Amino acid sequence: MPAPLYKRVLLKLSGESLMGDQQYGIDPQALRAFAEDVKEAYDLGVEMGIVFGGGNIYRGMQAESMGIDKVSGDHMGMLATVINCLAFQNALELLGVPTRLQTAIHMEQIAEGFIRRRAMRHLEKGRIVVFGAGTGNPYFTTDTAAVLRAVEIEADVVIKGTRVDGVYDKDPEKYNDARRFETISYKETLDRNLRVMDMTAITMAQENNKPILVFNMNVRGNLRRLLLGEPVATIVKE
């Protein structure tokens, strides 16, 4: 079996990725497809943490239009991420992959509270750790939570799954002449406002020298290809 490039990674997936062809919620087929791809990565011997967004269920930015204050709205979004994490945890365990769910908000009947050393110990024991509830604080996105967890668990890279095969100079779904980058610096990403992740997340990655790999998670087997070094992702690095 070929050896993966990375020993430990943090995978960031949006909540929308779980919708499949639905307008909201969780599509069982999409859920299982992502779980099977993660199992392929797990079978390579890669230690993996996973952070989910909650946009398929609720977005904090919806709060104002509903008359809900920003902090309450963000807390609702955090709870939405936990729903996604529970679904994905169960999908992985149905495939025989050992997991642990840790949340930034304490909810002992559902998950472990996030403790850095415990999370790292789970990874060392061959368990995938799913991190829910973002950072546990309002005003921070799940992108920022992903980079934060990557730094805390000493992951080699942050891997962000999207609908396109990397970072482009403009939206490739709208413009046929969009140019794809094989590599790009943190600074250029920010200067061009390419929205790979939010500014806080990219700045944190830059300060901690944590490369970000952006790839198309919707192509089956792409995660395994990325980990084995195939050029299926754009690398954002110093």
Residue 217 has pLDDT above 80, yes or no: yes
Spatial CA neighbour of 146 closest among 205, 186, 230: 205
Predicted confidence at residue 63, as pLDDT, reads: 62
Q: Domain residues of the chain, as ranges?
A: 8-237
Mean pLDDT across the chain, nearest whole number? 94
b/e sequence 66-89, b meaning 16+ C-beta within 10 Å: eeeeeeebbbbbbbbbbbbbbbbb
State pLDDT tens for residues 96-153: 999 999 999 999 999 999 999 999 999 999 999 999 999 999 999 999 999 999 999 9
Give residue 153's identity as a one-letter amino acid code.
Answer: I
State pLDDT tens for residues 176-204: 999 999 999 999 999 999 989 999 999 99
Spatial CA neighbour of 196 closest among 216, 174, 168, 221: 168
Mean pLDDT of 161-176: 92
Per CATH, the number for 8-237 is 3.40.1160.10
**10 in Cβ contact with 155 (< 8 Å):** yes
Predicted confidence at residue 50, as pLDDT, reads: 98
Residue 62 has pLDDT above 70, yes or no: no
State pLDDT tens for residues 16-40: 899 988 888 999 999 999 999 999 9
Predicted confidence at residue 154, as pLDDT, reads: 98
Residue 61 has pLDDT above 60, yes or no: no
Predicted confidence at residue 20, as pLDDT, reads: 86
235: left (phi over 0), alpha (psi -120 to 50) or beta: beta
**178 in Cβ contact with 172 (< 8 Å):** yes
Q: Is 128 exposed, middle or buried (0-12, 13-18, 19+ CB in 10 A)?
A: buried
More confident of the two residues 73 and 51: 51
Sheet holding 157-162, edge to edge: 112-113, 99-103, 128-132, 47-52, 8-13, 157-162, 212-216, 233-237, 183-185
